[in-house]
Structure 1
Amino acid sequence: MRKLLMPIQGDFIAPRFDLATEILIVNFENGTVQGDPKTIIMERPSDEELCQMVVKENVTDVVCGGIEELHYNFLVWKKVAVCDSVIGGWKKVLEKVLDNTLSQGDIILFGDEQLLTL
């Protein structure tokens, strides 16, 4: 079983990891969501609290927009797979995670279902 954390802002991946206050956590296995996704609302943005949450929740994967190198390196050091520079609606991004087709730098457009890679 894997556990995905995505900082979100409404229907989208949050532009910055360290400024997010809404967090989505999804358990998944073999391309299928297990149980109900969990949304956590943080009182205020905190990069340290978010990194602690990743460790405390035993998160295996993080998908985010921009992330500072310090936080990226910390998460990788903790053996978390980080896919950053992702732009798009979190539901479509989750679909790409589940079918194992999401890549770093992906921009997922709406409507015509195009996927761009920078």
Structure 2
Amino acid sequence: MRSKRVLIPLYRDEVAPRFDLASAALVAVVTPGEEAIPTTDFLLPQPSAEGVCDLVLQKDVDVVICGAIEEEYYHYLRWKRVEVLDNVAAPARVALERFAKGALRAGDILFAKGGSDAR
């Protein structure tokens, strides 16, 4: 498997619960078999689904890991050949690490009981 560019809309350090309300995004290049995942954070001028979609296209993203996403934007990204793993609730780094291991699925909730993150 080749390296993939992944984008995660952010709310603080977590996957944003809503795609259209993210004011920042994390972009990472995930290479199978590598431990370290270098990331870059981007601030969006204002929260909007269009802004996140524009960033996806500008950064040549292969995969979007997000929380809730409107059907219109889901289908738009799929039409642009971007894989979308939606309804994910997790700290962003935990979701990214799970994705790198090939273990992240749409709908995953990766918060442990008691507030610490699941691994």
Q: Same fold (TM over 0.5)?
A: yes
Equivalent residue in structure 1 for 2:118, among 101, 113, 117? 113
Q: Which runs of 5+ in 2 are unaligned?
A: none
Counterpart CA distance in 2 for 1:78 and 1:34 is 28
Answer 1 or 2: which has greater strand percent: 1
Counterpart CA distance in 2 for 1:7 and 1:112 is 18
CA RMSD of aligned residues (A): 1.8
1:54-76: CA deviation from partner (whole Å, max 9, x where unpaired): 11110000000000000000000
Counterpart CA distance in 2 for 1:53 and 1:103 is 23
Most deviating of 2-11 and 42-51: 42-51
Confirm or deny that 1:66 pairs with 2:45.
Answer: no
Counterpart CA distance in 2 for 1:3 and 1:61 is 6
- TM-score, L = length of structure 1: 0.88
How many residue pairs match? The answer is 114
8 Å Cα contact 1:14/1:64 also seen in 2: yes
8 Å Cα contact 1:26/1:33 also seen in 2: no
- TM-score, L = length of structure 2: 0.87
**Residue of structure 2 in register with 1:6 after alignment:** 8
- Give the fraction of aligned pairs with identical amino acids, expressed as a percent: 34
Equivalent residue in structure 2 for 1:91, among 93, 96, 104? 93
